[in-house]
Copies of this chain bind each other. A is one copy, B any other.
Amino acid sequence: MLRESPIRRTSLVDEIGARLQEDILAGKYRPGEALPPERELSERYGVTRTSLKHALVRLEELGLIETRHGVGSIVLDVEQSGGADLLKYLAPSAEGSRDGSFFSEILEAKTAVCASFVELAAERRTEKELSQAESLLVELSEKIDDAREVQRIEHAFVKVLARAAHNRAFVLLTNSVGAAYSFYWGKYQSVFEDGEWVEENLRAILEAIRKKDAPRARELTQKYFRENDRRVLDVLGYGRKAK
């Protein structure tokens, strides 16, 4: 069965969390200041303290606030303590404000991270990982006219390489960055209409990895993703503005 992206039901808690998050990121509550007391916030948003608290737990996990017993919830400086998992929340709000440069920053980071782990993958890949990547390429050539499938397979291919680097930290970093642009996922599918171009590049990268030619693998990856990023930004209409 084809797995469609499920309708995302937003719970009350998610809603409150998102509102608070926006307010914090918009500077309504400034770093160093305390949020209003939970009792007041819960009344203001019309929810119980319990529900509000669930939202605060989430914000604390993200590194947006620090809650201290007997004191309150202090707003932190995002640049100082915000974690990478924030990226997935920042993307939609950047979209709302037509902030294309933010998306280009995500892509840039993605490209850099990918280039790094591909370099490592070239040195450490096992035969099994090579064949996994290879079979993805075979699948790609079969579905080369379906942009949607091309996009999916390319993504899976990158994930295989991330694992092939045999570095758990890189896998998690890749996940965070991936979650950040997953929001845009459907919006630049047209980039993958040129399936041959994708296949050609991925194959070249895989060849370099097979030969354990790390520098070349890195170079090819960087080249491919940079061009890819450029096309994506073009499609989304951020083409020129973006640095």
Contact = CB atoms under 8 A, between A and B. Distances in A.
B61 A61 contact: yes
A175 B83 contact: yes
B83 A172 contact: yes
A179 interface: yes
Given A57-B54, A169-B180, A175 B109 contact: no
A102 interface: yes
Contacts of A131: none
Contact of A173 (B50, B62, B84, B102): B84
A167 B108 contact: yes
A176 B61 contact: no
Given A109-B169, A116-B113, A176 B84 contact: yes
Interface in A64-117: 69, 79-87, 90, 102, 105-106, 108-110, 112-113, 115-117
Interface residues of A, number: 50
Interface in A36-55: 50, 53-54
A63 B175 contact: yes
A225 interface: no
B85 A85 contact: yes
A69 B9 contact: yes
Interface in A139-171: 163, 166-171
A11 B112 CA distance: 38
A13 interface: yes
Contact of A105 (B81, B109, B167): B167
Nearest to A123: B243
A177 interface: yes
A216 interface: no
Given A61-B58, A61-B62, A177 B171 contact: no
Contacts of A83: 83-85, 172, 175-176, 179
20 contacts: A54-B54, A57-B57, A57-B58, A57-B61, A58-B58, A63-B85, A82-B172, A83-B83, A83-B85, A83-B172, A83-B175, A84-B172, A85-B85, A86-B172, A87-B169, A105-B167, A108-B120, A109-B116, A110-B169, A112-B116
